[in-house]
Each structure stands twice: as structure tokens, then as C-alpha cells.
């Protein structure tokens, strides 16, 4: 009986997804479920046929270029792949795949959840009640802002941005304005019911809510800094479910303290799992621990998408989600 390919997982997967993967592969799971060091990842590449990192693993050139490397594929558990040095992988002939599509809807759902939570003081109200500080209903208690009919600006308009736009328009009657690296044709914009902004400043100056939905690149890193925050409407709200490095967190904290921004809802951070102490000290910030894809159905589907890419690769076929 031929040996099954050995696959190393950098973190634990949902039980069902791990079990199904183990039916066809020799799976080396991360039992402690702690982040792997660069040395651990290099060892995985030396001892396995495939390595499955997640979006929080920094698979740089030093990791990819592990001496005596055995692995020929990096099957990423996640849609984003900025954490993998694709140029190094290409030079060494290593295939890289990701898991697009399957996390679109739940990330869009979480974006709307953060919009509602920040606009309506959901977290502040919960804290007050649990602390025993609620003295009963009164007309001036935690006044939020309406979401319906407001303007939502989407920075980046890929799969997730479009899913957010559909929810915002159909569910809350929001006016949706978009800006992204790929120009949107007028006809397509009309079909989607969105307005295309001339530039980022145009979007920031006209939106009540600004939500980020783009990858981190040399161009987009810290794209929301002090100048951009000053262009946002006074009392507006920033939402980030994309990547923490898109935002200058110190500048964001200052914009919140000064009152220019009413609130912020964040699911991602520049130095995860570290979260800025300044942001943690501001009550008007809703902080989540990177839950964008965290539904049982989605995390299982991500695992199955990884397995599908591995199945194609080890059958000598082109993986459907190859990015390098």
C-alpha cells in the first residue's frame, strides 16, 4: 500500500475537517494549538509533503527556503496570502493555494454586526448592565445613531465588499459608495446599486461609515492614517474586518479621543495577537478577536477547500485555488 502524503497543520482545525483530511493523508496536527515559530515551520517543510499555514503565520523567505525541504505545496487555511512570500515560493517551485469564496458571507455578516454594535452602543450597554450601573430607562441614555439611510463607504470592492454592499442596501437602505484599485464600470455600478468615488478622499469625506475590505500591499499599508482620518466626517465610524496593517492605530486612537470619530469597530490588528493599549482604553471602540470567518460552517468549509487543493495537487492536477 503506497504511503499517504504527510500534511502538517500549523493550527488545529475544526474536528470534522481534520477527520476528513486524515482519511486521505497522514495528518500532523498542532495539539497545543499555539503559534508555530519560524523554526517549527522550517521543520514542517523539511518533514512533510505539504504544510498548511494560517493567515497569522509569517511564512517568509527564511521559512520557505528551509534547507533539505520536502514540502512542495503550501495550502493556506484562509483567503488572504500576504503572510506568504510568494516570490520566494515561485523561485523554489513551491505551489501556494488559498481558500477564497467560502468565508465571504460570514465576514460580510460580521462587518454589519460591527456597524450596528458601534452605531447603537451595544457593547457599552452590555458592560453597563453587567456592572450593575443601569438605573433604568431614560431619554438620554447611550444615544447612538441610526444606520438606516446613512452612507456607507467601502474601501475595496471585491467579494466581501460586494457582499457587504448587498446587505447594507437591501437590509438598511444605505447609500453605498465604493473605491478600489480595480475600476468599476458605470453599468456594473448601476447594476450593483453603488456609487464609484473618484478617489479615497472623496469616499472619506462623504461617508458616515467607512469599512475596509482590501489586502495589505506596499500601497495600502497604513492607508488610513492621520491625514485620512482628518478627512472623515466628524462623528463618522471606521470598521475594519480586513487587515490590521491598513490602519495607523495610534492615529486612530487620537481621532477617537479628539471626538472626530464617534466610534470604531475592529476585528483585526497590526500586531496580532497584540492589541494597542490605547485602543483598549477607549470605550467607543468595539474590539473582536479576528472572528471574520468564525462560524462552524465556514471554518469547516475552509478546511475542505484546503483538502480539495491538496487532492488536486497530489493527483498531479492544477489546484483550483492556486495563487503561486
In the Cβ-directed half-sphere of 139, how many Cα atoms lie within 13 Å? 0
Specify the pLDDT at position 1. 40
Q: What angle do CA 265, 166, 284 make, to 5 degrees?
A: 15
Residue 290 is a catalytic residue:
yes
pLDDT at 2: 59
The Cα 298–Cα 160 span in angstroms is 14
Residue 243 annotated among the catalytic residues of the structure = yes
pLDDT at residue 182, rounded to an integer: 83
Catalytic residue, chosen from 82, 226, 254, 272, is: 272
How do residues 75-90 score in pLDDT, each as one tens digit? Answer: 999 999 999 999 999 9
From the list 83, 231, 290, 322, the catalytic residue is: 290
pLDDT per position as a tens digit, 264-307: 999 999 999 999 999 999 999 999 999 999 999 999 999 999 99
46-55 per-position pLDDT tens digit = 999 999 999 9
> Which of 48, 45, 40 minimizes the C-alpha distance to 5?
48
Where is 104: in which H helix or E strand? helix 104-119
pLDDT digits (tens, 9 = 90+) for 153-177: 999 999 999 999 999 999 999 999 9
Residues 176 and 182 sit within 8 Å (Cβ to Cβ): no
**Has 138 been annotated as catalytic?**
no
* Alpha-carbon 166 to chain mean position: 18
Please tell me the distance from the alpha carbon of residue 75 to that of residue 3, in angstroms, as a whole number: 20
pLDDT score at 290: 97
CB of 2 closer than 8 Å to CB of 22: no
pLDDT tens digits for range 89-120 = 999 999 999 999 999 999 999 999 999 999 99
Question: What is the pLDDT, as a whole number, of residue 47?
Answer: 97
pLDDT, position 142: 93
Which percentage of the chain shows pLDDT scores above 90? 97
Q: Rg for the chain (alpha carbons), in Å?
A: 22
Catalytic residue among 243, 249, 299, 305: 243
Number of CB atoms found within 10 A of residue 110's CB: 24
**Measured between alpha carbons, how far is 316 from 324 in angstroms, rounded to an integer?**
16
- Beta-carbon neighbour count of residue 227 at 10 Å? 11
Amino acid at each position: 500500500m503506497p504511503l499517504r502524503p504527510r500534511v502538517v497543520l500549523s493550527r488545529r482545525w475544526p474536528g470534522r475537517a481534520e477527520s476528513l483530511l486524515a482519511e486521505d493523508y497522514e495528518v500532523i496536527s498542532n495539539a497545543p494549538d499555539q503559534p508555530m515559530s519560524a523554526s517549527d515551520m522550517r521543520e514542517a517543510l523539511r518533514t512533510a509533503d505539504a504544510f498548511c499555514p494560517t493567515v497569522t503565520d509569517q511564512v517568509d523567505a527564511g521559512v520557505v527556503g528551509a534547507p533539505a525541504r520536502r514540502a512542495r505545496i503550501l495550502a493556506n487555511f484562509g483567503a488572504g496570502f500576504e503572510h506568504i512570500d510568494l516570490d520566494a515560493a515561485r523561485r523554489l517551485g513551491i505551489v501556494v493555494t488559498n481558500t477564497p469564496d467560502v468565508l465571504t458571507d460570514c465576514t460580510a455578516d460580521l462587518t454589519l454586526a460591527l456597524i450596528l454594535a458601534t452605531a447603537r452602543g451595544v457593547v457599552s450597554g452590555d458592560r453597563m448592565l453587567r456592572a450593575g450601573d443601569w438605573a433604568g430607562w431614560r431619554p438620554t441614555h447611550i444615544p447612538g445613531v441610526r444606520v438606516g439611510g446613512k452612507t456607507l463607504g467601502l474601501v475595496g470592492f471585491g467579494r466581501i465588499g460586494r457582499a457587504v454592499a448587498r446587505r447594507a442596501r437591501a437590509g438598511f437602505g444605505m447609500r453605498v459608495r465604493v473605491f478600489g484599485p480595480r475600476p468599476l464600470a458605470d453599468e456594473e455600478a448601476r447594476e450593483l446599486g453603488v456609487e464609484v468615488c473618484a478617489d479615497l478622499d472623496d469616499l472619506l469625506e462623504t461617508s458616515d461609515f467607512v469599512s475596509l475590505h482590501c489586502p495589505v500591499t506596499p500601497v495600502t499599508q497604513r492607508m488610513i492614517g492621520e491625514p485620512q482620518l482628518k478627512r472623515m466626517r466628524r462623528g463618522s465610524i471606521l470598521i475594519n474586518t480586513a487587515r490590521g496593517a491598513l490602519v495607523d492605530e495610534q492615529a486612530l486612537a487620537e481621532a477617537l479621543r479628539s471626538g472626530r470619530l464617534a466610534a470604531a469597530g475592529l476585528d483585526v490588528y497590526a500586531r496580532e495577537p497584540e492589541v494597542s493599549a490605547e485602543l483598549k482604553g477607549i470605550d467607543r471602540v468595539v474590539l473582536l478577536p479576528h472572528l471574520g470567518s468564525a462560524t462552524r460552517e465556514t471554518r469547516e468549509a475552509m478546511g475542505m477547500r484546503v483538502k480539495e487543493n491538496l487532492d488536486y495537487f497530489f493527483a498531479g492536477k492544477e489546484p483550483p485555488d492556486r495563487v503561486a
